[in-house]
Structure formats: structure tokens, C-alpha cells
Amino acid sequence: MSESGGTYDLVVLGGGSGGYAAALRAAELGMSVALIEKDKLGGTCLHYGCIPTKALLHSAEVADAAKESETFGVKASFEGIDMAAVHKYKDKVVSGLYRGLTGLLKSRKITTVEGEGRLTAADEVTVDGAVYKGRNIVLATGSKPKTLGLDIDGEKVITSDQALKLDRVPKSVVVLGGGVIGVEFASVWRSYGAEVTIVEALPHLVPIEEESSSKLLERAFRKRGIKYELGTPFESVKTTDSGVNVTLKGGKTLDAEVLLVAIGRGPVSEGLGYEEAGVRLERGFVQVDENLHTGVGNVYAVGDLIPTLQLAHVGYAEGIFVAEHIAGLNPPAIDYDGVPRVTYCEPEVASVGITSATAKERGYEIVEMNYPLGGNGKSQILQTQGAVKVIAQKDGPVLGVHMVGSRVGELVAEGQLIYNWEALPSEVAQLIHPHPTQSEALGEAHLALAGKPLHVHD
């Protein structure tokens, strides 16, 4: 007979952003909570995603600053990259945050269970023979890199998981996939001195972004010497003595030391008892209603496991939403258009709201303003190129904010408030932005939309 792990108000399967957020909020609301995680609490974001990749991107920014120091009148020399020291810095950031998270979970009296859990009934999860009964269950088993069925040898053909641990800077890389993960690694390796080519089947880099943002990024990458093949599907890869030989549709071949497969992430849902319990899957994603409920018992699902935006902050918000819903707080549904999105390459790409193409599809009559960072004092001080584009409904609120440039990820928080509070351009135009900051570019774009273009040439 299997031993009992106990009965809880909430049992959470998966301790990543979505799972631990649900656990923390539920505990705060007075529920007893068990959180089950087979690897490390914090999940992909903390250990294999957002945090370590942004640490690499920051070290890449420091490398660029050293290389370009003469531009700013500083005599410095770039001696090269010490990957062991880069990993030491990255791992120190991760372990500090990991300690903080485990301490927080402990302080909230959450029972954390280490081991591989499986949904064995609509109200129970079994871990190594121990049964954890839950009045409510949250599935939060996340995602893993998609591999296209390629043989990932971890040396010549790698995913982002191995890319994070690479002990050397490859001389040349082919990056398969021009989405967020692909362009971020391309950016890092280029700053580190590698020759990089991105292969993307769709017509643009970061294809879900506003087309003008994609074009600005492509121009910036071209200047940086990052090559790309757009609108060109990948056909096959052969490993060679020196690395890989990649064939594209149409017959073009590319040789490199490493192939990074960065074509997105798929849900982790196989062999976990979901379907047996009656949970509906489509392409591996758990299907949920607007309350993130699976339609089975009191079973909910959040994060990369469900077909919403695969972003840590989305999983986090979904986890909080489910905890509040279970507690009867009746939280408002998440507006996924209102979620800020940032790609942390150099230059950064950030957006919130909808693109002009989506706005037109939805039948909006729109007006738009594109404000180049060339007219922004702080951007000139930072020597960054790019633009802020604002899309608004004609005689109505702002529908989208789309930005490209160094550090614009930090600006998108204001864009989020503008979009989510349905501000009119004229209302934003009244706000005084601090000078000299990049936030003024956002202010200027709204001034222009409100009919008061101060620094815009006709």
C-alpha cells in the first residue's frame, strides 16, 4: 500500500514561476500547500532561462563597452572572454536568488517535496509512492526546448540548456530560430567574438513583434556583423570533424562549430497521468477555460504547460490568479495583450499591447507615430539607435507600444500602464518626462499623436 503524503488545500505539481507563485499566494491566503518539484525550485526561468541568460547578456554588454571604450574617450583594452569567470558570476546570481526563494517558501510553511510527481486521480499527486491529496490541484510542469527530432549531442548540436553551460566561446555558430531565445544567444556570442548566422523560416527576426521593430533589429544586427537567412526553412544537419554542416531549403549550406536549436519550447505533459485523469491535451498543451480550469475536478493548469504566452511573468500571474480564484476572491481574467514582452539582445526589443497588423485585423481604424531615438538626448549619450512606435485607435486609446534600442526593456513598464489603463495619447502628452532620459521618447511619441509634435520633423 502506498504511504500517505498528507492532505492539503492545494497540491502544486511543478515549482517554476507559475507553480511557486500559486503556492506562495495560496499560503498567504491561509491554505495548506504542498509544492512538488523534481529538479530545483525556481524552474526554467531561474535555472535555465531568464536569469542566467540575462547574466550572459550583461557580461556581453560589458565586453562591448570594453571594445567600444575609445568612442567615449576611455582607454581600455578587450583581452577576451574568460568563460569560467562568466559562469561563476552567472551562477552566483542564480544561487543567491535560489536561496532567497527556498527561504521564502519555508517561511510561508509550504511543504516542498523533491521528486517526480504524477497525477494519479483528479484530487491526488503521487511522488515515489507517497500520495498527496489535494482539495485543489495546480499543474505547472512547464516546458522544455523543442528539438525537431534532431540528435542533440550537447557538443556540436545543442539547445539553450547546453548553451548556458558552454565552457568556451565557439568560433562560429548557426542559430536555428530567430525568436527570442535565438536572437539573445546570437547577441551574446557576437559580443564574445563569434561569427553568427541565424536561420529563420519566417520573413523576419522576432516575428511576433511589430514589423518595424523586426526591421530595426535586423538593421542593427547587420551593423554588428550578425548574419541571418530569413524566410529560409532549415532542411538538415550533418556533424563533421570540425563541427556541423547545415543545409537549408533551396540547397544553401552553412558550416559552423556549433548548431544551436532555438525553435521554441514545448510543454512537459507526457507520461504524467494527465490524459488518464481526463485532462484534455492539444499538441501536448493542457487545455483550460478562462479560469485556467481543466474541466476535471478541481484541477487547474498554469504557465508554459498551457497555450498562453511562454513568459515567466505570465506563469507567475497565472499562479496568483488560480490561488485567488480557489480562495473565492473572483480575480479579473488576465488580459494577455496587456503583458509586456522584452527580448534582451543588443539592441533590446520591447512591446506591450497589439501590433498594427492585429489592430487592423480586429477592425480598428488606427493612427501611429514612430519616434526615432536619434532625437532623444539620452539615447545619443548611450550611442544607441532605434525607435519608439505608438499605435492608437483613431480618436481613442493607445493600442500598442513598440520599442527598439539599448535598455528599452526598462521603459516598457510605462507602456504597460498606458495600454492597460486605456490612456488617450492626449492624457499621456500631459505627463512631464524627466530630462535627459529615454522615457522622453515615449512622451514625444504621445505628444505627436496628440497633435503637439515638438521634436518631430514634418
Q: Which domains does the chain have, with CATH numbers?
A: 4-144+266-326 (3.50.50.60), 157-263 (3.50.50.60), 347-449 (3.30.390.30)
Q: Please write the tens of the pLDDT for every residue from 148-186.
A: 999 999 999 999 999 999 999 999 999 999 999 999 999
Q: Where in the sequence numbering do the catalytic residues fall?
A: 435
Q: Is the pLDDT of residue 4 over 90?
A: no
pLDDT digits (tens, 9 = 90+) for 44-54: 999 999 999 99
CA distance 177 to 246: 13
State whether residue 255 is helix, strand or coil.
strand
Q: What is the pLDDT of residues 91-141, one digit of tens each?
A: 999 999 999 999 999 999 999 999 999 999 999 999 999 999 999 999 999
What is the CA angle 176-180-185, rounded to 5? 60
Q: What is the pLDDT of residue 2?
A: 57
pLDDT at 169: 97
Q: What is the mean pLDDT of residues 353-360?
A: 98
Instruction: Name, in order, each residue with C-beta under 8 angstroms of 56's C-beta and a sequence gap of 6 or more.
Output: 86, 90, 164, 188
- pLDDT band at residue 453 using 50, 70 and 90 as cut-offs: confident
Residue 438 to residue 380: CA distance in whole angstroms: 10
Nearest to 4 by CA among 113, 142, 122, 161: 113
The pLDDT value given to residue 285: 98
Q: Name which of 302, 322, 300, 301 is nearest 310 in CA terms.
A: 302
The candidate with the shortest Cα–Cα distance to 162, out of 57, 259, 61, 270, is 259
Query: How confident is the model at residue 1, as a pLDDT?
Result: 43
CA distance 378 to 410: 14
The CA distances from residue 398 to 8, 242, 394, 423, in Å, are 44, 52, 9, 6
C-alpha cell at 318: 497565472
pLDDT tens digits, one per residue of 285-342: 999 999 999 999 999 999 999 999 999 999 999 999 999 999 999 999 999 999 999 9
**Residues 314, 143: contact at Cβ < 8 Å?**
no
**How many whole angstroms separate alpha carbon 120 and alpha carbon 127?**
10
Distance separating alpha carbons of residues 317 and 308, to the nearest angstrom:
12
Q: Contact, 192 vs 171, CB < 8 A? A: no
Starting from the edge strand earliest in sequence, which strands make up the sheet with 172-176, in order?
Answer: 157-158, 258-261, 172-176, 195-200, 227-230
The pLDDT of 436-454, averaged and rounded, is 94
Give the pLDDT confidence of 218-246 residue by residue, as tens digits: 999 999 999 999 999 999 999 999 999 99
| Residue 457, pLDDT above cutoff 70 | no
Mean pLDDT over 33-55 rounds to: 97
pLDDT digits (tens, 9 = 90+) for 375-426: 999 999 999 999 999 999 999 999 999 999 999 999 999 999 999 999 999 9
Looking at every residue in the chain, the average pLDDT score rounds to 97
